[in-house]
Structure 1
Amino acid sequence: MQSSSDLFPVALMSAELRGDLTEDVYRLKPGNSPDASVELVLTRLGRFGQEGARGVPVILVHGSFSNRRFWYSPKGLGLGPHLARAGFDVWIAEMRGHGLSPRNQQYRRNQVADYARYDLPAIADFVREQAGQRPHWIGHSLGGTTLAAALGGRYLGDDGAASVALFGSQVSRVYWPLKVPPVAWGGRLLLSRFDVLSGSRLKRGPEDEPIGLALESMRWHGLFGRFGDAERDWWAGLAEVSVPVLAVAAAGDMQDPVWACRKLVEQIPEAYRHFQRLARDEGFSDDFGHIEMLVSKAAEREVWPLVAYWLEHQQLPVAAPAGGAVAL
């Protein structure tokens, strides 16, 4: 079968009409990481009848225990379809072993370091090849953390990102027990016995997560931990980012609190950083939660238009859709 790309093998898995939307599903085999079995699936959404007039490309990256359905429901609802109907060229990534992306041979060892170093750059290259311009990125929770790692590690530079938006993403929340070496050692020993964390058993979502992610997070939050890998300090690298970055935090988010999300974006140079807090006292209708900030009727009315404005202008409006003033 002929590849859909000159970069690496890419197969068009399906091309379907979903109501007023077109849905093209691609399977990428970049072959750029130590595990050559890695395959990544991208879903491209567009408007039916407007295939020749695709707009600015934007790539959506889901969080932990999730897949493409966070952005795009079977009924054609979600931020992905909203942006496609607004004229954007929408690409929805599914990370290793999530959704339509198969589990790679070394699945249990997968880490953010792999996603940031190998997978996001490959996705960026393919989308840029197809769209003819740099893509914008939107990540939720772990998806945003992965984007921050790719920026800080310089794996995703100016040529791979026109802008980046991080929703409910942070790395600064402190887990004090992990600062105690015996507790940390015991935790790692216990987790090492497992291959995955079950999203259904933990009631966190429809997907499992490789145990490598949990072990990596424990290293970040350990006594002498840092946001980075053995080669690069991603946190320090964020101070050299030169693309617009928006961080959005929700007042009702107990998992990734506002202060921690703000701390992450404040590591970005002031000229490139933007911050929005979703809260009643900012003029929004609710103190949004971790999921509700992007998946809810209120998000559809108030947050999705803000996202579209950001993608068009790389800045926030003078007033948020519900009348809330912006910060930073």
Structure 2
Amino acid sequence: MQSSSNLFPVALISAERRGDLSEDVYRLKPGNSPDGTVELAVTRLGMADEPSVRGVPVILLHGSFSNRRFWYSPKGLGLGAYLARAGFDVWIPEMRGHGLSQRNQNYRKNRVADYARYDLPAIAAFVREQSGQVPHWIGHSLGGITLAAALGGQYLGEPAVASAAFFGTQVSRTYWPLKIPPVEWSGRFILKRFAQISGSRLKRGPEDEPIGLALEGMRWYGLFGRFGDAEKDWWAGLAEVQVPVLGVSATSDHQDPDWACRKLFDQIGSEHKQFICLGREQGFSDNFGHVEMLVSKAAQAEVWPLVQRWLTDPQAPLLAGKPDLATAV
């Protein structure tokens, strides 16, 4: 089968009409990481009746225990579908072993470091090739962490990123037991016996996560841990990021609290950045939660239009005339 890309082998594995939307699913085989079996599924959404009309590209990165359905339901609902109907060229990758992406040979060892260093640059290159434009990026939870790692590690830069939005994203929450070396060592010893963590068993989501992510997180939060890998300090690298940035937290997000999301936002060096907390005290109709900030009727009414406004002009104040709602730098 002829490749859909001149960069690396890409196959169009599905091309369907979903109501008023077109849904094309590509399978990418970048071959750029030590594990040559890595394949990534990327879904492209557009308007079915206007297949040749493509707007500004937007890449949506799902969080842990999740897949493309966080952004786009089988019934055609979600932020991804909303943005496609608003005229954007929407791309939804699924990380290794999630959704339509097959589990790679070294699945259990997958880490954010691999996603950030190998997978996101390959996705960026493919989207730029197909769209002819520099994409905007939106990450939720672990998707945002991966995006932050790619930016801080300088695996992605201005040629590949028009703007970056982080929803419920932080790496500063303290897990005090992990600061005690014997506890961390014991935890590592136990976790290494498993290949993955079950999202359904823990009632966290439909997907599993490789144990490599948990081990990597334990290192970040350990006594002398840092947000980075053996080669690069991603946290320090965030200070060099200059693309427009949007940070969003939620008042009732207990997994990634507001103060921790703000800390990551403050570390980013961009001159053009804005921060919003979604809560009643800030003027919103509800105290949003970790998932509800993007997947709820309230999010559809209040958050999705803000995202559209941000993507239209990342340097314009999102909540002009309401300084109590947004912090602009």
What is the TM-score of this pair, normalised by structure 1? Answer: 0.98
Residues 266-305 of structure 1 aligned to structure 2 (within 5 Å): 266-305=266-305
Q: Distance in 1 between matches of 2:73 and 2:322?
A: 25
Residue 132 of structure 1 deviates from its aligned partner by 0.2
Give unmatched runs, 5+ long, in structure 1.
none
CA distance, structure 1, for counterparts of residue 162 and residue 317 of structure 2: 18
| Alignment deviations for residues 37-61 of structure 1 (CA, whole Å, 9 cap, x no partner) | 0000000000122211100000000
Letter in 2 for 1:242: Q
Report how far residue 272 of structure 1 moved: 3.0
Amino acid of the residue matched to residue 244 of structure 2? P
> Distance between the aligned counterparts of 2:270 and 2:111, measured in 1?
29
Q: What's the offset of the Cα at 1:319?
A: 2.5
Alignment-mate amino acid for residue 175 of structure 1: Y
User: Deviation per CA, 1:9-60, whole angstroms, max 9, x where unpaired?
Assistant: 0000011000000000000000000000000000000012221110000000
**Contact 1:306 1:316 survives alignment (8 Å):** no
Q: Distance in 2 between matches of 1:280 and 1:154?
A: 37
- Partner residue of 1:149? 149
Computed over aligned residues only, the root mean square deviation of the Cα atoms, in angstroms, reads: 1.3
Q: 1:142 to 1:211 in 2, by over 3 A?
A: same
Question: Which SS does the other structure have where 1:49 is aligned?
Answer: coil
Aligned to 2:245: 245
Alpha-carbon distance, 1:144 to partner? 0.2
Q: How many residues align?
A: 328
Quote the offset at 1:273 in angstroms.
2.4
Counterparts in 2 of 1:1-328, with a 5 A limit? Answer: 1-315=1-315, 317=317, 319=319, 325-328=325-328
TM-aligned CA deviation for residue 79 of structure 1: 0.2
CA contact (8 A) 1:11 1:26 kept: yes
Report the 3-state secondary structure (helix = DSSP H, G, I; strand = E; otherwise coil) of the residue aligned with 1:53. coil
| Code of the aligned partner of 1:60 | L
Task: Call closer, same or farther: CA 1:316–1:296 in 2, change over 3 Å.
Answer: farther
Q: Percent same amino acid at aligned positions?
A: 73
Structure 2 segments unaligned to the other structure (5+ residues): none
Cα deviation, 1:258-281, whole Å, max 9, x if unaligned, reads: 000000010012513221110111
Runs of 4+ in structure 1 displaced over 2 angstroms?
Answer: 315-325
Structure 1 residues 181 and 12 mapped into 2: Cα distance closer, same or farther (>3 Å)? same
Equivalent position SS for 1:36? coil
Partner AA of 1:200 in structure 2: S
**1:306-325 C-alpha deviation (Å, 9 max, x unpaired):** 00000010045453799963
Q: Deviations over 1:135-190 (max 9, x none)?
A: 00001000000000000000011111100100000000000000000000000000
Match for 1:3: what amino acid? S
Could you say what secondary structure the match of 1:327 adopts? strand
Give the alignment's TM-score, normalised by structure 2. Answer: 0.98
Contact 1:136 1:161 in 2 (8 A): yes
* 1:237 aligned counterpart, secondary structure: helix
Q: Which moved more, 1:310-319 or 1:128-137?
A: 310-319
- The 1:264–1:227 alpha-carbon spacing in structure 2 relative to 1, beyond 3 Å, is same
Contact 2:272 2:315 in 1 (8 A): no
Structure 2: which amino acid aligns with 1:90? V
